[in-house]
Amino acid sequence: MNRLIIIGIALVLIGCQGAGLANTADFRTGTDGLEIAFLENAPPSELFAGTGAAPSEFQIGIGLRNAGAADIQDGVLFIDKVEFFTLEGKEAGSKQFFAPLAGKNAGNPVGEYKVLFFNAANTGTDAEEKIVTITAHACYRYQTTASVDICIDTTKPGPLDIEKSCESNKVNSLGKGQGAPLAVAEVKESIIPRQEGNELRLDIVFEDEGDRSDNEKVRRYTGSGCEGESSIFIKDIRFSDYSIKELGSKRIECKGVGFDGRELKMETTAATGADPEKENKIVCSVLLEKTLNPYLTPLIIEAEYGYQTEVEHTFKMISPEYISPDTARLPAAFFAEFCTTIAPKFHDLIVQYSAEFGIDPCLIMAVIEQESDFDQYARSPVGAEGLMQLMPATQKELGVTNPFEAAQNIRGGTQYLKSHFDRFSAKYAREEAIKMAIAAYHAGFKGVNRVVEQYPANWLDDHLTMSDATATTKGILTKDYTIQVIEKWKKYRAQAKEKV
């Protein structure tokens, strides 16, 4: 029993030690900084343009994560001006400050995350369909801190080889970054004997792994976070009692192409054969004071710089002036009045579920008229029930428990129509997919899909007239059903446009 107790205590101690190691993980690794991305559906992939009187309003959402090791205390996110759009009520671009944003640490190994929203609106377009690109920029101040042990050796070479505690003439590779886009990649240390003593030379290679840029769109936004965003400032290089900040014999002197003692420019290194925007080297030297023995000491390199990163989102904008029955949706401006006098009893339900499933409310109206002529309690000889004539198996699949309740029936029928559209639109153009979905609402997906795959060029015109169970249902040919629904759709669409 005592042995078991001892073993148990030992396991607990080992577990505690392991946890302690995990909490002391080095987060100054990698070359990530700020990451930004548009949120899903903000803005959506397809947007209907508004008008001056009824703008199409939506939100733009941007997620920001500080994936590096330095905290961001100074940063701004802004969105470029887009034609036909307003941002936060203004025609020009808009900006928001997002700092502070903490970097990776023991408590949060992936860095702090936050979301910013911009209110946007569209007032029209000059084309039937237009591809629009929204660009979001973030500019921020960031820091890199690198550390590597170097050997300080002030002893003079002698006639006898004496084993030293460290080696000074070597190249130190610092791996893959220090948790920041600007990385110290390599430090080469050399001892150069001089008459007055030993000189330490440090060749320090910087690599730029991110998107630092001279982007003029960033520079136009004056203020915190954007000024001098392309500059890299070497704040300090130090070890023991030596520093680039110290005066006198302990001051480290540094020089290099594109380096003025404070600011480091990457773009001036083309003559050296290095990537002119990604790498540069500075050379630092200092005369060492004499010590009895060589010793290891940490070399600390600190840099501060502005950075900018950007992300784009492309979506399709459709003008209400050009909308046809082949378009799957209508702009929000059409919802308010489209069927108030046509079917006032079901207006609110059709608006609600057309918006939920992204189906044109005028199309839902057309299907209801075709199926039941707005008879909430209609029942067909083959068993279809309610406004949108759902079969019992379809009701079960869609979770409809009472087909004669208008809300359940309209919701189920709209969802059923949308499911067919989604399946066909994955393979076919939207104009054809919506026609296929109407046909499938009547005859089922499998039968219509079989005809479409066999006769893709003229599936509706020539082949849905076959007296075939896969292409017809009792009472009406699927081709005729599809054409009649589309005609009713056009009728409701025309009435809706008159009301807007």
Q: Which residues are catalytic?
A: 371
Distance CA 479, CA 382 (A): 19
| 188 Cβ contact partners less than 8 Å away, ≥ 6 residues apart | 170, 171, 172, 202, 203
Q: Rounded to an integer, what distance in angstroms lies between the CA atom of residue 441 and that of residue 416? A: 7
3-class DSSP state of 365: helix
94-97 vs 34-38, strand pairing mode: unpaired
Burial 294-303 (b: 16+ CB within 10 A, else e): beeeebebbb
Strands (E), 250-294: 253-255, 263-264, 279-287
Residue with tokens 């359940």: 408
* Furthest-apart CA atoms within the chain: distance in Å: 112
Read off the tokens for 414. 């709209």
Asked if residue 43 has a cis previous peptide bond (ω within 30° of 0), the answer is: yes
Sign of the four-CA dihedral 172, 173, 179, 184: positive
Which of 109, 459, 143 shows the shortest CA–CA distance to 300?
A: 143
Q: CA distances (Å), 427 to each of 185, 232, 360, 361, 452, in order?
A: 49, 50, 21, 24, 11
Contact 176, 31 (CB under 8 A): yes
Please give the structure tokens belonging to residue 488.
Answer: 């009713």
Residues 188 and 202: their CA atoms lie apart, in Å, by: 6
What token pair was written down for 95? 């900006």
CA dist 439 and 420 (Å) reads: 9
Q: Are 414 and 398 in contact (CB under 8 A)?
A: no
Nearest alpha carbon to residue 437 among 450, 449, 420, 453: 420
Confirm if 48 and 318 have CB atoms less than 8 A apart: yes
d(CA 353, CA 339): 14
Q: How many Å is the Cα radius of gyration of the chain?
A: 35
Residue indicated by tokens 């004539």: 389
Q: Is 416 helix (H, G, I), strand (E, B) or coil?
A: helix
User: Cα angle at 305 between 281 and 303, to 5 degrees?
Assistant: 55
